């Protein structure tokens, strides 16, 4: 098996989990930095829009490493999708496939079901709720919680921050409610 074929395979949790987990002590040891992605938008706004808005008046240059980190994630994703793309159909659990087919979702040829995530669905109530309203709520929730799921669950919990525990529990409860109550309702529209 070649290196490319080996790296394309799903990595088991006991390899991927510790690798993700090791980013926290690495960032803390190297430069006393916190892992988080959502704050990078604030840094970009502070760098590009030097207005008199108090929220953006801080030394964003101290956080320039975070912008390089996010840029690396973007280009890493571009490299991965072009060099490591799996052209096979997405495999999902047969029970989930049966449930989704009841909502008219049967195309698993890409990461997102094409019956929902396409330009035409933006003009439907279902598509607008899922794409526009859902996107707004994720952005608002991230800002309101003071960080995203990765920042709170990976960095916040590992540094024993009480607000991160509360935020992570709320993320989980919200996810369960969305997946089991709200999403079936929206998909049935």
101, 115, 117 from 95: Cα distances, Å: 10, 19, 22
Q: What sign does the CA torsion over 65, 24, 20, 141 have?
A: negative
pTM for this structure? 0.73
pLDDT at res. 139:
85
User: Is the Cβ–Cβ distance between 113 and 100 less than 8 Å?
Assistant: yes
174-185 per-position pLDDT tens digit:
999 999 999 899
Digit-coded pLDDT (tens) for 13-60: 899 888 888 888 888 888 888 877 888 888 888 888 777 888 888 888
Query: What's the average model confidence in pLDDT over 114-139?
Result: 87
Task: Please report the pLDDT score of residue 173 as a whole number.
Answer: 95
- pLDDT for residue 165: 94
The residue ranges of every structural domain in the chain are 116-189
Res 189: pLDDT? 82
Q: Can you tell me the mean pLDDT for 105-112?
A: 83
Per-residue pLDDT tens over the stretch 130-171: 889 988 998 888 888 888 887 888 888 888 899 999 999 999
The pLDDT of residue 118: 85
Query: Could you please report the per-residue DSSP string of 138-153?
Result: HHHHHHHHTS-HHIII
């Amino acid at each position: 098996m070649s290196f490319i074929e080996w790296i394309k395979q799903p990595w088991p949790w006991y390899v991927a989990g510790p690798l993700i987990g090791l980013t926290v002590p690495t960032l803390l040891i190297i430069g006393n930095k916190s892992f988080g992605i959502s704050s990078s938008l604030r840094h970009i706004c502070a760098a590009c829009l030097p207005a008199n808005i108090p929220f953006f008046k801080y030394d964003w240059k101290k956080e320039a490493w975070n912008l390089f980190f996010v840029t690396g994630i973007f280009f890493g994703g571009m490299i991965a999708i072009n060099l490591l793309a799996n052209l096979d159909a997405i495999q999902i659990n047969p029970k989930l496939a049966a449930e989704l087919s009841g909502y008219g979702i049967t195309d698993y040829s890409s990461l997102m079901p094409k019956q929902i995530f396409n330009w035409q669905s933006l003009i439907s109530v279902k598509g607008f709720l899922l794409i526009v309203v859902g996107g707004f709520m994720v952005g608002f929730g991230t800002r309101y919680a003071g960080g995203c799921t990765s920042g709170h669950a990976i960095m916040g919990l590992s540094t024993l921050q009480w607000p991160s525990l509360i935020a992570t529990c709320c993320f989980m409860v919200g996810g369960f409610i969305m997946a089991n109550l709200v999403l079936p309702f929206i998909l049935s529209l």
